[in-house]
Structure 1
């Protein structure tokens, strides 16, 4: 397996050092970049690209949401998957983070094993949102979003639409496989093809697409 390269951006040196020490102890993870703010991070990423960025939301000299937007908009940087790490819980930041282009959302008090797992999950292109967080995200987005045109779904087969709907409900590949009586590998292949066809950065954005196109309804949010 190819090593996962990581950047850490946080204005607290102790936090950066702690995350770096934890991740560098893993045989397949290398911390290549550390920065105290968004502007410094972007400058370093231009010469040292990484797979995953762990970034605080509130930082001086370019906060995490702003830096995430810059990374997503820059073709030279957009291969990096951003995980926003914060002391704040389920509030407006999670919606803004996904809109900005983040691939995940993590609290600073998460267990070390979960932080390590998060880096690996996001590096593989998976979403770092639990079903509970997914429901929260979509319920908050439903306040400001309307179901969009379904033209983005015209490229999908009927089976792929079924899979996308289940992704939108926060199901994992294994759960999708069980629901549709498929092998886990087949479910994973369907998800990968969907991402390619609709040009989604990752699974988080498939969740948003499923809602915007009406595959996930507000009724599911409140009843599931």
Structure 2
């Protein structure tokens, strides 16, 4: 919730139960329709089995989370906590500039906009309404920071990292011959890896992350002859 100025206040319901609902795989954010470039990497043979998926998460996704997305998430979470919609819009614009492929920008905004609309219905507040009026097509990271603004940053950031990692893992099961148990084992090891470094990531400014492999894969996706995912 938020006060009349828009600053976050304690939820009128259990914030931890809300965290579980918002992070549940059945939460209809639309994320299931996006692979964020993984589909093209599988098609190109860069990621073709369980070992390749785990390497991809470790070498490509975790560094981006630790050096770029989580430090940005900290800034957005602080802005949401004080109801600073101008700062949230500024951060949203910066994220837009960092995401070079149009497919990646569009995917992030589609999911973010869907989550924002759900937030307006399920947990309305002055902060949510002010942000929706100011920046209706927000990036996923920004909306999640608002969504979890009543959760301590250490837990909220872990929830965002969990969303990212499991999103790729879920997409992989549609793209490769990989079982659920094997996939969950990969997720568990990946979460263990990021868990050892996440607190450091939360205390430093965003450094940026240049990932041409994933960016090229995202750019190629729009011209693919056949595809399972939107992006």
Could you state the TM-score of these two structures normalised by the residue count of structure 1? 0.31
Of structures 1 and 2, the one scoring higher in RCO (CA 8 A, sep 6+) is 2
| Structure with the larger helix share | 2
| Structure with the larger strand share | 1
Could you state the TM-score of these two structures normalised by the residue count of structure 2? 0.31
